[in-house]
Structure 1
Amino acid sequence: MAKFEWKTNITVEIEGNVYQVIDFQHVKPGKGAAFVRVKMRDIIKGGVIERTFNPDEQITTAHIDRKNMQYLYNDGTLYYFMDNETYDQIPVGEETVGDSLKFVKENENVTVASYQGNVFAIEPPLSVELVITEAEPGVKGNTATGATKPAIVETGAKVNVPLFVEQGEKIKIDTRTGAYLSRA
């Protein structure tokens, strides 16, 4: 069996949990055996841990499936996604989806991440274009640099936009931060 090689961003399964390696360091102390210090993020629960391993310890890599799927609709408790290749539909619970669809409209594509057939995360596109449904009018003369006002987009999410952006306009939003990027 080949020796396990530590790398950043690989996923491993340890004691039934799946982790993504954030950072690692090979340590050779003056006395005693060498070891590997690893910082990992639990990709299902979200916590970060640090742990040491013997360099000869056998570690199992975890294969994460990331599939491009179309967000169909929400029936109140479940969100439905369709596989773009097989047209199979899968339901995903609210606790798994969380805030990840806050800027995603129905029929848009997202990435569904799963491990051993269990969906654990929904990854929206990096940026989306949405229409502003509610925004206060910009006040003439109120042009302080970088001034923003709250606006509500068609998915119901709140976004801070520059004063010149008006209701009915289409804007581009960064889905990771919820920040206004530009007019679309």
Structure 2
Amino acid sequence: MDDKAILLKYLRARRGELLGKLDGLDEYDVRRPMTATGTNLLGLVKHVASVELGYFGEVFGRPSGRDLPWFADDAEADADLWVPSEESREEIIELHHFSAEHSDATIESLHLDAPGKVPWWAEERRHVTLHQILVHMCVETAQHLGHADILRELIDGSAGKGPGDPNLSQRSTEEWGDHRARIEAAARQAAR
């Protein structure tokens, strides 16, 4: 597998995991703000899909033709990070799929050293390659997946990739409670 195929594989996996954080939740739970800054699951999916369209579309002269009103000059700040009630979950999921398909077409049609220009970055950083943007979007998607992991755990206790995730210790609810209590005790001890 070449470098481009490896990066695309990682990007696809993180996209799927991010979208999977919505599974089994009702409309309130996918939209509700879980942090002081309003971070929410459906908003994370909307944001990642939206910025991916820009990075793999506009940057490489391959605009998607998709209107994203939350990026208009007169749009409210951070409008891409939450979902008003008149926007449906289905519309955001469809945007996610559309964005992935459009991005994958760009990635598959260009070489890793293909040049692009990111007009919203500082002049000295604007000139990029597909390789740079693939790495950038893998990192951005993984970062927001990490946010989503924490939000989902706060909402219903689901952690990681679900039951059997090899990256999580297998503990009972009681064992997790004991583990958390040990960490809390250590934090309090260190604060003294």
TM over 0.5: no
- Higher normalized contact order (CA 8 Å, seq sep 6+, divided by chain length): 2
Name the TM tier (shorter chain). under 0.3
Bigger CA radius of gyration: 1
Scaled by the length of structure 1, what TM-score is found?
0.20
- Which has a greater percent of helix? 2
- Which has a greater percent of strand? 1
